[in-house]
Amino acid sequence: MIPSVHRESKVIVNLAAIKANVESEIKRLSEGQELFAVVKANGYGHGSVAVARTAIEAGATGFCVSNLDEGIELRDSGITLPILVLSYVSPDYLQLIHDYKLSVTCPSIEWLQQINKMSETCHLKSPILIHVKIDTGMGRIGIRHRQEMKEVVDFFNSNSNFILQGLFTHFSTADSVSIEHFELQQKRFEKARDIFPENIPYIHTANSATALWHDAWGSNMIRFGDAMYGLNPSGRELPEPYPLIQAISFESTLIQVKRVSQGEKIGYGATYEAVTDEWIGTVPVGYADGLRRSFQGFEVIVDGEKAEIVGRICMDQFMVRLKRAVRIGTKVTIFGRNGTLFNSVQSGAEYVNTINYEITCGLSDRLPREYVSEMDRIGE
């Protein structure tokens, strides 16, 4: 999708905030631990390459992505640090994995057998680096059974084309007050750990939540994702051990302001009716930009004042109720700071009953990304 640069609507990413968040976590690391920045899904909507470069400045020593293309994008942008693809990559792409020097995830013994067969027809000048995923209770990809784990160990012991670089799992409730399932997953990973060699370079269980609230349990590498962007992985369930600074803002402008009479209807389905004569402003972004229809009623910030979204969000526009006539071209802040007011991504997530990750990942590529590094613009 081509960014719509000829309208005054954009996502602003403050790289100073991202740098500060990474530095705060690195200060908490113990000797021998390192931080890999998670820049999958276009850096949670912030822009993967710009975020990755900032994370390097802050001290990150590697990156995690979701798929092969995301890893290739970083390499093509000149990033040479280690990159781990966390999700499934088809063995058919072994040559690309090799050529772009990417580490990949092993989800099963069958996958290892398939990629080994593929290696017979590829030109491998160096071994493929592999991280084995243990499914301790997330239920996504990964190995669950002891016998299969033993077969995986035997595979690496007998095959020099592939190196066991990492062993990892993912905790599904590390961001929760309840620790029962977290402790179950810990026990399962400990049992798996006993089967594998002791000298594996990377052992990692710590996503942002595990790093923040469980001392990066069992990890010498931290996969730092949501928190890097200044977002609390738990929403508001658990307090942050240090201030996380929201890096993203979402801004637009008023393109029309009109006076409507009492009783006039606004928007698709006529779901809003003016209760008195009212000033209505129109903003040129909508659900095609990632602002869900269910944001009707959410308050954005116009000229330093709250303004309620009235009527359903349209594909390309939404309407707000203003307290007075406001000049066309006035800034409208959906998320971020405007005057003395601040709209957090978390507040938006709560309004539409989702998580903060989904809000930022949903901001479409139609919105241009503008990058700033201004300490006086970070945080609430």
Of these residues, 40, 272, 287, 357, which one is catalytic?
Answer: 40
Of these residues, 117, 191, 242, 268, which one is catalytic?
Answer: 268
Report the number of secondary-structure helices (H) and strands (E) in the chain.
Answer: 11, 20
Look up residue 227 and give its two tokens: 């928190």
DSSP 207: -
Give the residue among 107, 173, 183, 114 at the shortest CA–CA distance from 140.
107
- Reported as type and span, the H/E element at residue 196 is none
Is 40 catalytic? The answer is yes
Q: Is 315 annotated as ligand-binding?
A: yes
Please report, as a single letter, which amino acid is at residue 319. Answer: M
Look up residue 302 and give its two tokens: 């116009």
Look up residue 186 and give its two tokens: 């810990």
Measured CA angle at 165 (ends 147, 59), to 5 deg: 140
Query: 99 by DSSP, 3-state: which?
Result: helix
Please report, as a single letter, which amino acid is at residue 113. Answer: Q
Distance of CA 322 to the CA centre of its chain: 33
The Cα–Cα gap between 8 and 380 comes to 23
Q: Give the pairing of strands 278-283 and 318-322.
A: antiparallel
Q: Is 140 annotated as ligand-binding?
A: yes
Is 101 catalytic? The answer is no
Give the residue among 337, 124, 118, 141 at the shortest CA–CA distance from 247.
337
Instruction: Give strand pairing partners of 84.
Output: 64, 103
Q: Where are the alpha helices (DSSP H) in 231-275?
A: none
Do the Cβ atoms of 261 and 245 come closer than 8 Å? no
125 Rama sector, left if φ>0, alpha if ψ -120 to 50, beta otherwise: alpha
The Cα–Cα gap between 98 and 336 comes to 41
Residues annotated as binding site? 140, 315
Residue ranges of the binding site for substrate: 140, 315
Residues taking part in catalysis = 40, 268
